[in-house]
Amino acid sequence: MAKGFFTDTSVCIGCKACEVACKQWNQLPDDGFFFTGMSYDNTAHLGASTWRHVAFVERPVPLGGQVTGVGRFSLLLESDVCKHCVRAGCLEACPTGAITRTEFGTVYVQPDVCNGCGYCVPACPFGVIDRRADDGRAWKCTLCYDRLKGGLEPACAKTCPTGSIGFGDTEELRAKAYERLAQVRRAGLKEAWIYGDTAESQPGTEGLHAFFLIVGRPELYNLPSDPVVPTKKAGQSWRAMGLASVGVVAAAVGAVLSHR
């Protein structure tokens, strides 16, 4: 049975307990202690040493029906993570077999097989996977694969105090996500919707194993509106190249004939 995350951003309080739990369990290094200039966000983005990232997004105009916010500003919070795509660009780009699909349907990087080539980095449409400076190998969220094998939930979901991060079977999570969406919309947040749960809603990755309830456009959360795995466009690229080649040959033949 496929496992995954459903992250409900509407109940995230920005405590960063998920970030801390992820770092502690996976023994990840800190990201440095410096001012990022990004509101209260001290980690800035996902990376090789940040597998969970709580984004703070300040908006100049409050969301419709939202009662929180100071003056003419409101704050969106989102705990971001690897999406464990149904069709994963990083997995398809890996030449060594270091990136695999687990028995839980998740995408896992085997550190003892990774050679640090970096092909996976540009292949991720979400900019999730990254190489660590010290050894050059690629790292990202494993969905706590070691905990899953022991029958435990991922550290981030276990630690979340508000239930913003839900973990379980993807089909059950999807049902819960749409129940929650209906509640949120009834409460007045008409901008709310589910991001990336199925192949129909996100054909470029054929769906995600980590999907989100968001209350605004994806771009506000630094999420692409139409992510596409590079290999999905490979056929289109080859066809375009073929047509271009035919055009070049035709032009060359025309030039030769015109000078006879």
pLDDT the model gives residue 240: 43
More confident call, 44 vs 226: 226
Question: How far is residue 250 from each of residues 88, 237, 241, 256, 257, measured CA to CA in Å?
Answer: 39, 20, 14, 10, 11
Whether residue 120 has pLDDT greater than 90: yes
The topology under which CATH files domain 3-228 is: Alpha-Beta Plaits (3.30.70)
Whether residue 252 has pLDDT greater than 50: yes
The token pair at 256 is: 């030769």
* Residue 168 CB partners (closer than 8 Å, separation 6+): 3, 4, 6
Give the residue-averaged pLDDT of 74-101. 95
DSSP 163: S
Give the residue-averaged pLDDT of 91-96. 97
Report the alpha-carbon distance of residue 37 to residue 8 in Å, rounded.
26
Residue with tokens 């959360």: 221
More confident call, 113 vs 37: 113
pLDDT the model gives residue 151: 96
Strands 165-169 and 3-8: antiparallel
pLDDT the model gives residue 74: 73
Which residue type, as a one-letter code, is found at position 164?
A: S
Which residue type, as a one-letter code, is found at position 158?
A: K
More confident call, 233 vs 115: 115
User: Which range has the worst mean pLDDT, 53-62, 118-127, 218-227, 229-238?
Assistant: 229-238
Report the alpha-carbon distance of residue 60 to residue 131 in Å, rounded.
35
> What are the tens digits of pLDDT across the range 29-59?
887 777 766 667 778 889 999 999 999 887 7
Burial bucket for residue 45 (CB in 10 Å: 0-12, 13-18, 19+)? middle
Predicted confidence band at 70 (pLDDT cuts at 50, 70, 90)? very low
pLDDT the model gives residue 114: 97
With vertex at residue 236, the alpha carbon angle to CA 233 and CA 239, rounded to the nearest 5 degrees, is: 150
Instruction: Return the HEC string of 103-132.
Output: CCCCEEECCCCCCCCCCHHHHCCCCCCEEC
Q: What is the pTM assigned to this prediction?
A: 0.83
Give the residue-averaged pLDDT of 222-228. 93
